Amino acid sequence: MKKVAIILSGCGVFDGAEIHESVLTMLHLEAAGASYQCFAPNIDQHHVVNHLNGEEMNQTRNVLVEAARIARGEIHDLDTLNVNDFDALAIPGGFGVAKNLSDFAFKGGDSTILTALKTTCEAFNQQNKPIAYVCIAPALVGHIHNKGIKATIGNDADTAAAMSALGAEHVNCHVDDIVVDEAQKVISTPAYMLAQSISEASAGIQKAMTKLVALA
C-alpha cells in the first residue's frame, strides 16, 4: 500500500486549510488504495478569521493545533516528516497555504515560503516522488521546482501572473480536471479556486489523488 503525507495549513478556508479539500484529499487517497498521515507546522497562524462574517479576530491560534481538528488528532509536526517514510505528498488549499505556509496572499510574485515546507517538498522532488498541489497550493511550485514547472490554479489571470513571476508555467484548467507535469511528477487541480460546490471540487481532487497514487 502506498503511503502519502498530507501537509495541512490550519483549519478553515479563510485562515487555514480548506476543510472540504482536506477531507476530500483523504477520502480519495483512501479510495485509490493508499494510506495517509497528516502533518502541519507548529507555528502561529498569520491571523484568525471569524468565518461567520469574514472579520479578523483578536486572538492567536496555532497551525498544528488547528489542523489537528481536521485530522481527528492524528497529526504530527511538519519538522518530523521523513520523506523516506512516504511514497508521495499532497497539499490541500485554503488561505492558510498563502498566509501560513507562505506570504503569497500578500506578496504574490515576491513571496517567500516556510523553510520546512520548501525543504520537505524539495526532498520529495529530489527522490522523484510525486506531489499533488490543490487549489491555491500550486501557486507555490515556482519556489520549489525547476523553472518552467507546469501547474494550474484554474484561470485567474492575476494569480497566474504571480506564478509566472516565480518561474512556473501556468496552464488554464477546468474545475473537474488536473494538470500533470510528467517530468517533475507534479499534479495540480483548481478545486475551490473555481468550484461552486463540494461535488465540483471533489471531481478534480479525485482525479488528482488517483494520479498521485498511480505515479507513486
pLDDT by residue for the chain (216 residues), tens digit each? 999 999 999 999 999 999 999 999 999 999 999 999 999 999 999 999 999 999 999 999 999 999 999 999 999 999 999 999 999 999 999 999 999 999 999 999 999 999 999 999 999 999 999 999 999 999 999 999 999 999 999 999 999 999 999 999 999 999 999 999 999 999 999 999 999 999 999 999 999 999 999 999
Whole-angstrom distance, CA of residue 137 vs CA of residue 168 = 13
How do the domains of the chain map onto residue ranges?
Answer: 3-145+209-215
135 is catalytic: yes
The pLDDT of residue 97: 98
The pLDDT of residue 44: 98
The pLDDT of residue 8: 99
The pLDDT of residue 23: 98
Query: Domain 3-145+209-215, what fold?
Result: Rossmann fold (3.40.50)
The pLDDT of residue 35: 98
The pLDDT of residue 92: 98
Q: 162-196: b or e for each residue (b if 16 or more CB lie within 10 Å)?
A: bbeebbbbbbebebbebbbbeebbbbbbbbbbbbe
Question: CB-based contacts of 107: which residues, under 8 Å, 6+ apart?
Answer: none
Pairing state of beta strands 88-91 and 3-7? parallel
- Determine which one of 11, 38, 135, 173 is catalytic: 135
